[in-house]
């Protein structure tokens, strides 16, 4: 018995459609896999490139910050070696003249200079605030500075109420211990990272060892 022509035509239509679908699948699936692999490889390569770029920026600015701090600490250590504490009036004159010299050379980087005794009392001060006789006996930076030849504090508000940090150098005279301290202008320090930009929305921050 012969198969109806309509059934045969329907069979061939289904067969043709299935063949076309399989051809499309055989063509598209490898292409999609290839595009997926290429996209993933591009993502990895781009991520590595961005990470390397960020690493270079961090290294560069870390070096800039280290150089900045070492240079400014070196200035205060030099002044500590030059300071004579035998005459209080000469101490004040010394602080006044040296702060002026530092400002002439570095602009507003150095905010002030002060001499603190072993009890934490500031004996002499040159700067924009009234801090003669200020008591630093319980200040964290003072306690740390008394235990080290020199100390660089974290950023804090302190007595003046706005962010700053301290460079402190310990010195001895006539059997007594003193701290020569200077406040670093945080705006000047912060400018070291202002030019770091990662994309349109990326930001850079300076954090201490505790992640603060």
What pLDDT, on a 0 to 100 scale, did the predictor assign at position 134? 95
Do residues 140 and 180 both lie within one domain? yes
Q: What's the CA angle centered on 125, arms 96 and 191, to 5 degrees? A: 80
Query: Are 115 and 160 within one domain?
Result: yes
> How large is the average pLDDT for residues 38-50?
85
Q: What is the pLDDT of residues 76-108, one digit of tens each?
A: 999 999 998 888 789 999 999 999 999 999 999
User: What pTM was estimated for this model as a whole?
Assistant: 0.74
Q: What is the pLDDT of residue 200?
A: 63
Its domain, for residue 69, covers 58-190
Q: Are 24 and 99 found together in one domain?
A: no
Q: Report pLDDT for 141.
A: 94
Query: What's residue 7's pLDDT?
Result: 66
Residue 51, in any domain of the structure = no
For residue 169, pLDDT over 60 is answered with yes
Contact at 8 Å (CB) between 138 and 108? no
| Burial category of 55 from C-beta neighbours within 10 Å (exposed 0-12, middle 13-18, buried 19 and up) | exposed
């Amino acid at each position: 018995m012969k198969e109806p022509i309509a059934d045969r035509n329907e069979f061939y239509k289904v067969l043709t459609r299935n063949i076309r679908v399989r051809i499309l699948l055989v063509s598209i699936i490898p292409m999609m896999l290839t595009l997926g692999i290429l996209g993933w490889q591009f993502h990895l390569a781009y991520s590595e490139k961005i990470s390397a770029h960020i690493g270079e920026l961090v290294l560069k600015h870390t070096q800039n910050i280290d150089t900045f701090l070492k240079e400014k600490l070196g200035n205060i250590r030099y002044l500590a070696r030059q300071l004579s504490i035998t005459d209080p009036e000469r101490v004040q004159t010394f602080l006044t003249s040296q702060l002026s010299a530092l400002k002439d050379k570095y602009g507003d980087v150095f905010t002030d200079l002060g001499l603190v005794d072993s009890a934490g009392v500031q004996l002499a001060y040159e700067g924009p605030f009234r801090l003669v006789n200020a008591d630093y006996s319980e200040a964290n930076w003072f306690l740390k500075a008394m235990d080290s030849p020199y100390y660089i504090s974290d950023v804090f508000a302190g007595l003046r109420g706005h962010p700053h940090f301290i460079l402190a150098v310990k010195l001895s005279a006539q059997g007594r211990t003193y701290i020569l301290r200077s406040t670093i202008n945080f705006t000047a320090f912060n400018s070291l990272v202002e030019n770091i930009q990662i994309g349109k929305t990326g930001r850079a921050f300076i954090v201490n060892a505790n992640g603060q």
